[in-house]
A and B are shown apart, each in its own frame.
Chain A
Amino acid sequence: MNIFSAQNITKNYAAHTALKNVSIDVPEQSIFGLLGPNGAGKTSLIRIINQITAPDEGELYFDGEKLKPSHISFIGYLPEERGLYKKMKVGEQALYLAQLKGISKADALKKLKYWFEKFEISDWWNKKVEELSKGMQQKIQFIVTILHEPKLLIFDEPFSGFDPINVNLLKSEILNLKANGASIIFSTHNMASVEELCDNIALINKSQKILDGKVHEIKNTYKANIFEIAFHTKEIDFKAILPESYKIQDQVVQNGISKINIKIPMDLTPNELLQNILPKIEIISFNEILPTMNDIFIQKVNEQKNIA
């Protein structure tokens, strides 16, 4: 079951096309990464999901129904360009933004109290926003985004501008929300920051989707059968022990421990590599090197260029 689905979305602005025939499916209770470089069209797509703008072509579905204005109260959105009224008091402002999402005043008060206590910021209630530091403001923004318990949360560049402590707080809260049934869309150009959290991703480049699917499947598809072996340093000639078809990549020595990357032919398994080297060295660790989303993205973009 998909909580959200966009089919063949196209959006044209006067001078350029922001989205061209883009489709995405966000499964229920999952984290979805919308990845791509700046200017790829991510924010345009997110604005369409939030019904801030309308697509020129394509269909949108939320929870099985056609997307309609009343769905706004089931979506929480933390935009990339985010801010608060500087002169307004924190509590008053949080209450206002929550009510705009359609929660009753009493309900909003109760929930805000819970979250303010949870984040240990209850004494900020009567402060003006301009008196708070940036990190403090971000906490408020986060609370306001999730207060109405949306089924779908959208975070545009969520970690830009957050300090590391808040990033961790945010990540753990987001995982909590997912465990409680929410689905999350992350939109970012900083792929490394979210790939560990995402279940599914879609790569967007130059207004078009170039890749999507489950993260582990994509990684498996794009893996190069490279393995990293760490061992206690010992003079050894790997070329002599290994068959010709094995390719030795970089090798480093650090604090008496050597690390070596070996690419083995696609039809072989790591067991065969181990059989060859086990008798010769004392192994500390053995890992498969999976490509990062960044690597896959670059590879994919290059492929596209070659076709064109």
Chain B
Amino acid sequence: MSVDGVLGVPPRTTATRRVNFWRWVRSDLRAVLSLGYLFILIFVSVFAWKIAPYSPIEQNVTELLMEPTWSHWLGTDDLGRDVLSRLIWGAPNSLYAAFLAVTVAIVLGVPLGLLIGFLGGWFDELMSRFIDALLSFPPIVLAIAVTGALGIGLTNAMLSVGFVFAPVLARIVRAQTLVVKSALYVDAARGFGAGTGHIIWRHILPNAIQPVIVQVTLMLAIALLAEASLSFLSLGVQPPQASWGGMLARAYNYIELAPAQMYAPGFAILLTALAFNALGESILVALDPTMKRR
């Protein structure tokens, strides 16, 4: 018996999908632009080795600190490296950093929040104070300290940032878990014999995940800025690898000789952070029907 046929659900056609797509583009242009920009950035990151006109680390002492030319669109840096190529190679590093930090935050924070919310009681009291304590640290300062302890480098720096973000997610997930845990449909599920695992997987997680998605998208922007800051402080990406923050730090050293080199990496960071933020806000509006556009 074909169940769908019985149910009389109209199959979704390409035509209706296309209409929905254009409606979405018109209703949320900002999200579309952000998403488009991020897709391009991911594309550039994946194919950096093909797109970049020069090697990002190969030095050329005959072409130091050149103004933009036809062969070097954004000029060259103090070691004669092509700035455009370094900018392109900075993209995968920045995206890797942002996604690594956020993944660490999710892996640590979400289960912790679930556990705290689910167990409740004195465990909740204790862990909530612990989370409060972690959130009292200025995030970059704590990330610097943890990076220093683990050893400097991009991966360690982003593990640290993820560690600093984790309590934020844990707190959100805990609050959601507490709400869902006492929902009547969870009682109903226990009533027909569902175990704790089933309740967490089928009820608590799907209902708690919404604010997490929003927060995670916004966190990508913060992680990106943190990566740039840490690389600027030479705690993140180590030379000769390219990173936008590191490029700014370098450019700042010879700012009087080539002030124009300040702009490209800065704009790259700004645009990417803006895109993540815009996407996060759009998801917030899209997921919450009560958040109508003002």
| B and A form one assembly | no
Using a CB–CB cutoff of 8 Å, the interface residues on chain B facing chain A are: none
Using a CB–CB cutoff of 8 Å, the interface residues on chain A facing chain B are: none
